[in-house]
Amino acid sequence: MRSRKTLVLSLSLISLALLGGWWWKSQSPNAASSNPSAAASPAAGPAKGGPQAVGVIEARQQDVPVNLEASGTVASLASVDLRAQTTSTVKEVLIKDGDTVRKGQVLLRFDDRADRANLERARAQLLRDRAAAADAERQFKRAQELKAQNFIAQSAVDTAQANAEAARALVAADEAAVQSANVALSYNELRAPISGRAGALSVFPGSLVQASASALPLVNIAQIDPVGVSFSLAESQLQPLLAATRGAGKPGSASPEALQVQIAPAGGRAAAKGAEADAGAKGKLVFVDNLVDSATGTIKVRAEFDNQKQQLWPGQFVRVRMTLRTLKDAIVIPQAAIIQRGSERSVYIVDADKNAQLKVVQQRYTFGEMAVVEGIQAGDKVVVDGKQNLRPGTAVKAQPAALNPAAAAASKKAASEAGNAPSAASAASAASAPAATASSAASGAGA
């Protein structure tokens, strides 16, 4: 009888424990998440009644340069491979790899003993033939005198005249031979044909050189100042470029080839700070090709830059910028404020009654994060942040917007994540508290 009462008591206690657990679970914070409509209804009420907060920026009026940018390669305006014009051995090397050389400077000297001997031989031959020519001239004059006295026939005079003329021709040939020997001797000195920078030398004193067009160049010289930048433009940009060059040739302007070209810094603001010197490099347009490449749809263009500081180097990749024209008193707004619907462009502006109004605009030009538009006035408050939830006539609460909405959103998200970190930790600790209570209760029941 006692065991039966004990069994009934145990079953009653287990039932009470199950009922208590079900009641505790129904009263936990998770119950609020099972009814989202009830939780969201209090927050939905104030959102419908109050004005919507938006970020705005005033449209400003300014002069905007229309720039054309392209990637180009620095190229030397003159590059010469120097080869030997005689077969000899290198006697002296007067420069080092990478030296800056002047036009006419002696770079290499070859062994010239054989050519000097040939020059001396030609000079000696010239002296001998000049003496023979002088003797022939005297014989001709004597024959003329004898003919005047009728001592010799006219044929003898003609023979003396022919000998004198032949001697003069031989002297002229000897003079040419001397000049040829001088030219051959000059080949033993290799001089710089242009001013520039020497490349790597391929010979040393004692090296054998030969006169051959296919031989390895002894050294290369590339002109560094001025230097050229070659780049390609799409054929769609050809007409604006030609219009700009024609405009440069109007009265009061430079010549058609004087369109200014500037080296643009590669990258963002940090790169621009590091490339202030390069950004200051300014040149002029000197060449537009006469043919568009039908395979690529591009046309070759070249600009020329003064390079006294040698900031530009042949083979270097650079960005070039040309200002084709300037838009006077243009209306400028952020590109992020423009709403695109097919081919239509529109923006929301905040009127005097603090209501959002939709305005259709025409986008004329973009640069960076900004755009030139028509259809609004300078000073209009253009909505940048929060425009996706607006409708025409919606009451808004305007506040200044960041120039870069994406960066502002990223920073706001990072800040919210940092703020949610403590709340997540507190929620975890709160969740661990009931577990600890349950374990303690279980241990008490076991006791």
Q: Give the CATH number, domain containing residue 157.
A: 1.10.287
Q: Give the CATH number, domain containing residue 321.
A: 2.40.30.170
Distance CA 201, CA 101 (A): 13
pLDDT of 187-243, one tens digit each?
999 999 999 999 999 999 999 999 988 889 999 999 999 999 999 999 988 888 888
SS (H, E, C) 193-210: CCCEEECCCCCCCCCEEC
pLDDT of 142-153, one tens digit each?
999 998 998 889
The answer to whether residues 97 and 216 belong to one domain is: yes
Residue 44, in any domain of the structure: no
Residue 334, in any domain of the structure: yes
The answer to whether residues 305 and 374 belong to one domain is: no
The answer to whether residues 313 and 240 belong to one domain is: yes
Q: In what order do the strands lie in the sheet with 196-198?
A: 79-82, 219-222, 196-198, 100-101
The answer to whether residues 237 and 309 belong to one domain is: yes
- pLDDT for the residue numbered 310: 87
High-pLDDT (> 70) share of the chain, %: 76
Neighbours of 289 (CB within 10 A): 14
The answer to whether residues 250 and 348 belong to one domain is: no
pLDDT at 135 over 70: yes
The answer to whether residues 232 and 312 belong to one domain is: yes
Residue 28, in any domain of the structure: no
pLDDT of 297-313, one tens digit each?
999 999 999 998 888 99
The answer to whether residues 203 and 97 belong to one domain is: yes
Residue 436, in any domain of the structure: no
The answer to whether residues 375 and 293 belong to one domain is: no
Distance CA 202, CA 81 (A): 11
The answer to whether residues 359 and 385 belong to one domain is: yes
pLDDT-derived band at 433 (thresholds 50, 70, 90) equals very low
Identify which of 75, 78, 313 has the alpha carbon closest to the alpha carbon of residue 194.
78
Lowest mean pLDDT among 31-45, 99-113, 167-181, 257-271: 31-45
CA geometry: angle at 64 spanning 62 and 69, to 5°? 160
Tell me which residue range forms the domain holding 216: 88-110+188-222
Structural domains counted in the chain: 4
Number of residues assigned to the chain = 447
The answer to whether residues 128 and 211 belong to one domain is: no
Between 23 and 340, residue with greater pLDDT: 340
**Residue 180 φ/ψ, nearest 5 degrees:** -65, -40
Neighbours of 143 (CB within 10 A): 22
The answer to whether residues 135 and 180 belong to one domain is: yes
The answer to whether residues 231 and 205 belong to one domain is: no
- pLDDT for the residue numbered 43: 34
Residue 1, in any domain of the structure: no
Residue 439, in any domain of the structure: no
Residue 281, in any domain of the structure: yes
End of a domain among 186, 201, 236?
186
Name residue, tokens 């347009």. 285
- Out of 136-140, 394-398, 406-410, give the one with best mean pLDDT: 136-140
pLDDT-derived band at 5 (thresholds 50, 70, 90) equals low
